Amino acid sequence: MALLKLQSLSVAHGDLDLVSDVSFDVHAGERVGIIGESGSGKSLTALAIAGLLGEELRSRGSVHFDGEELIGASERHLSRLRGDRIAMIFQEPMTALTPTKRVGVQIGETLRIHRGVGRRASQIAAVELLGRVEFSDPQRYARMYPHELSGGQRQRVMIALAIAGDPDLILADEPTTALDVTVQRKILELLDRLVREENCALVLIAHDLAVVSTICDRVVTMYGGRVVETGSVADIIDHPRHPYTAALLATSSAIAVDVESRGTVLPSIPGSVPSAGHFPGGCPFRDRCSSATSACLEFPLMESGSHRVACWHPLDENSERGSR
Ligand code: SF4
C-alpha cells in the first residue's frame, strides 16, 4: 500500500484552478521527484500535501497519508503530523528558521515537541544531529544564530530539523536552487544519505531534471498545474514521451555542461510559462509545443501503466531521448 496517495488533487483560488487533477503514489522509502518550471504547480502540490495552503486557497480531491485522509483534517491534527511524520525543507531556510533563536535551541525544541525528549537530552541530541549533517564543530554551530551561517549551512540545519522528528516522509521544495553548484551537490549527497539512513520517503521538487535524477527513483513531470508524465528515472531520462519532459531534459544543467563544453548554443524551451491559472485550455503546453494539432484543444487522458504520459502525440517510446 502506498504511504502517500494523491487522487484527483486540485487547488483553487476562488474559481481558478491552479492545480488540477493530480494523482500519484509514493511508497514507503521511495524517492519521487516532481519536475517542472516555476509556475507548474509543484510547490502548491507539496503545500496541499502538508496542509499549508493558507486561507485563500482550497484543495479538493484526496491526499491519503498512511491510510488517513488529510484533506479536511483539522489544523491541529495536521500541525501534529508535520514534524511528527511529515517534514518539509524549503528553498529558503530563513523563512522556516527563527532568526532570534540559536540553531541548537531550535533543533532541541523540535526534539522535545515531536520526540518527547527532555530539555538536557534534547540539547545533546541537537548537537549530535548537527554532526550528522556534517558540521565539523557541531557544538560551536549549535550556539550560532541563523544569520551567522552561510546558505548551505542553513540548509543543513533545515535538514537536521527535518530528520529531528523521525518523519516517514520528507517534502523538499527546491532545497538546492538558491545554492551554488558545488554546495548543491554536497546538499544533495547529504539528503540522499540521510533519507537512506532514516528509511523515509522523499518527495523532491526541482526544476532541473539533473537534480532529481541524482537521488530519485521515479519522476513526475508537471506543467500548467497538471501531471503530464510519470515514470522511473530511467524511463524519463532515456525515453521521455511528453514533449515538455523532453524539453526539460534538453535544458537540464548536466546536459547544458556537456553542450557548453562542445561550444554549442544551449537549448531553451520556446515561450514562457503563463501565470498560474492562465494556461491555455486543453493541453496547457500547446502554445509552446511544435507538435500541437487541433486535437490538443482537449486535454488528453493520462495513459495507464508504469510509464504514463498525457499527450495526443507522444514521442516514440522506443527511441533514445524521445526522438520521433
Ligand atoms: S497534447 Fe499536443 S500540445 Fe500537448 S504536448 Fe502533446 S502534442 Fe504538444
- Does residue 234 share a domain with residue 254? yes
133 shares its domain with 188: no
**Boundary residue ending a domain (112, 143, 166):** 166
Tally of domains within the chain: 2
Do 182 and 158 touch, CB atoms closer than 8 A?
A: no
Neighbours of 168 (CB within 10 A): 20
272 CA → ligand 1 middle, Å: 16
Looking from the CA of residue 310, the nearest atom of ligand 1 is 1
- pLDDT recorded at residue 129: 95
**Local confidence pLDDT in tens for the 324 residues of the chain:** 899 999 999 999 998 999 999 999 999 999 999 999 999 999 999 999 999 998 899 999 999 999 899 999 999 999 989 878 999 998 888 888 999 999 999 999 999 998 888 999 999 999 999 999 999 999 999 999 999 999 999 999 999 999 998 999 999 999 888 788 888 888 999 999 999 998 999 999 998 888 898 899 999 999 999 999 999 999 999 999 999 999 999 887 554 444 444 444 445 788 888 887 788 889 999 999 999 999 999 999 998 889 999 999 999 876 555 444
Within 13 Å, how many C-alpha atoms sit on residue 254's CB side? Answer: 13
Q: Is the CB of 243 under 6 A from ligand 1?
A: yes
Q: Which residue's CA is the nearest one to ligand 1's atom 3?
A: 286
Would the CB of 224 count as within 6 Å of ligand 1?
A: no
Q: Are residues 136 and 222 in the same domain?
A: no
CATH number at residue 171: 3.40.50.300
Q: Report d(CA 268, CA 253) in Å as an integer.
A: 11
Distance (angstroms) between ligand 1 centre and the Cα of 202 equals 30
Atom of ligand 1 nearest to the CA of 296: 2
pLDDT at 260: 45
81 and 216 co-located in one domain: yes
Q: Are residues 156 and 18 in the same domain?
A: no
Whether 230 contacts 217, CB under 8 Å? no
154 and 195 share one domain: no
Shared domain for 267 and 119, answered yes or no, is no
68 burial type by CB count under 10 A (0-12 exposed, 13-18 middle, 19+ buried): exposed
Question: Are 140 and 72 contained in the same domain?
Answer: no
| Cβ 283 under 6 angstroms from ligand 1 | yes
- For residues 79 and 102, membership in a common domain is answered with no
Q: Is the CB of 223 under 6 A from ligand 1?
A: no
Q: How far is the CA of 243 from the centre of ligand 1 (A)?
A: 7
Domain that holds residue 125: 94-166
| Length of the chain measured in residues | 324
How far does the chain reach from its first CA to its final CA, in angstroms? 36
239, 193: one domain:
yes
303 alpha carbon to ligand 1 midpoint, in Å? 14
Q: Are residues 59 and 101 in the same domain?
A: no
